[in-house]
Amino acid sequence: MEIDDVLPCRKFTFSIGHFLNDLCASVWFSYSLVFYHLVVKFSNSSAGYLLLIGQVADALATAFVGFASDKTKHGLCGKRKSWHLLGVICVLCSFSICFQVENANFTSVLSPFIYYTIFIIIFQFGWACSQIGHLSMLNELTSKDGERVALNAYRHAWSIVANIFVYTVTWFLLDKNETRDNNHMDEDVFRTLTQIIIVTGFFTSLIFHLGSKESISSAKQYKILSVTSHTWHDVLCDTQFYVISLIWVFTRVMSNVSQVYLPLYIMDSTDASQVDRTFIAVGPLCVYISGFITSFPMRKINQYLGRKKTMIVGLTAALLSSFLFWHIFSLKNNFGISMQFTILIAAILLGIGITTAQITSSAFTSDFIGENTESSAFVYGAMSCLDKLANGLTILFIQEYNPCSTCLTCCPIFYRQILSYVPGVTAICTLLILITIRRLHSNNRHEDVKRKPISALFHGIAQRALKVILTKIV
């Protein structure tokens, strides 16, 4: 078999390599605010600051690991897999402690806030090592455009499975817990949930390390290069890097903010007599199930429509979901459409939109890297750094201006605004980028693509500004 063709078993073992990270990320974004505010009894802003600290630590770690991974010559189990293994060890050792209350009582020197901060930083460093190690392997497995899209789609499908798994297990644990008002039982739920995740993630990581194999050197395997950048300096001087980074960041903010605030929207922004409380679990499940189904035809859709049109289709679905979330009462009063039906349709559209946008943004990044895999970890690390900072600052800003602790009647409109405006605005910004940019990186690896340095961009802007000034003077 050609090296461009990836065997089904290698696709499976590669795509499951990020499953532990996906499980932990699902709990982190869905329940960290709940745990630190309602269980540990931190203030709303303190819980938001802990989440921000985690995101900043993750951002700095991704930048460092991205640079260091590209500089690594050899490793215990390969250039990329060694970093992945280090990340798995850190995550397995620290994640469950981030969601345990009683361990904070073992220390008399550190305050609970600092105690949790230490283990959150260890967890986020490990998460970054695993993420960058896994992503940077993708371009080394194959140079085929369709195969790369397929690997991204399978990887994203397992991410959705991880979210469905977490929500299902949490639902089961809460249903089993008959004394839900007892905070001690809430602690038991988080303890059991994190232990299940650690055990499951350990075995999936083991499958990845035993079943996947790094390519020896893509630079030696391919003679024709699709890009001219080889170093981190060349990457930073390329205008397309910043364009694709913005697309990457906007799609991740859309996904993570929706994941954090969808349950709160269902709880506080809908009529309890019209919407069953089980929709707190049903809504997110619909998002991930529709996203899981959407991930499989992504390879064919990208081939048929191309990157930009596929992204536009996904962003349109996300905009429609934002419209439905905002007009849920109007649709009920004016057209008699039940709120539960609106939530289901909006959740399905949101799942389609997020999945399409994330897979296509990852495909843009793979196209940008091409066969220059010596800088792939830096590219993914830099983009992930920006996305973690953007997510952390966005959620902290929302938490700082969250009026629910002082004004209970303000909650419904507040969560409607968050779930409608944030995904809607990020989708519109991404659409504007796609519309205004005439052409992104070519998908044809046999075409020598001439890429404009960033200095050329500023030179063009200066020329146009000077022309306008001279026209006004004359």
Instruction: List pLDDT tens digits, range 13-35.
Output: 888 988 999 999 988 887 887 78
Q: Are 171 and 29 in contact (CB under 8 A)?
A: no
Query: Is 450 a residue whose pLDDT tops 60?
Result: no
Is 451 a member of any domain?
A: no
Q: Give residue 276's pLDDT.
A: 64
Considering the domain boundaries, does residue 328 fall inside one? yes
Taking the C-alpha atoms of residue 425 and residue 51, their distance in angstroms, rounded to an integer, is 23
Can you give the residue range of the structural domain that contains 321? 231-437
Domain check: are 206 and 354 in the same one?
A: no
Which span out of 7-16, 70-79, 269-278 was modeled with the highest average pLDDT? 7-16
**Phi, psi angles (nearest 5°) of residue 310:** -65, -45
Q: How many domains does the chain have?
A: 2
Question: How confident is the model over 115-141, as a mean pLDDT?
Answer: 87
Q: Residue 358's Cα: distance from chain center in Å?
A: 8
| pLDDT score of 222 | 36
Q: What is the pLDDT of residue 179?
A: 45
- Do the domain assignments include residue 124? yes
CB 13 within 8 A of CB 212: yes
| H or E segment to which residue 424 belongs | helix 411-436
Which residue has better confidence, 276 or 441? 276
With contact defined as beta carbons under 8 Å apart, do 408 and 254 qualify? no
- Provide the pLDDT for residue 152: 77
Asked if residue 31 and residue 157 are part of one domain, the reply reads yes
Has residue 473 been placed in a domain?
Answer: no
Per the model's pLDDT, the better-predicted residue between 105 and 213 turns out to be 213
In a domain, 458, yes or no: no
Q: Is the pTM of this model over 0.75?
A: no
pLDDT for res 373: 67
Same domain, yes or no: 316 and 343: yes
Indicate the burial class of 195 (C-beta count within 10 angstroms; 0-12, 13-18, 19 or more): middle
Q: Do residues 156 and 282 both lie within one domain?
A: no
Task: Report which of 334, 332, 349, 180 is spatially closest to residue 271, judged by C-alpha positions.
Answer: 332
Task: Based on the fold, state whether residues 204 and 281 are members of the same structural domain.
Answer: no
Same domain, 271 and 359: yes
Lowest mean pLDDT among 15-19, 204-208, 380-384: 380-384
What's the pLDDT score for residue 24? 93
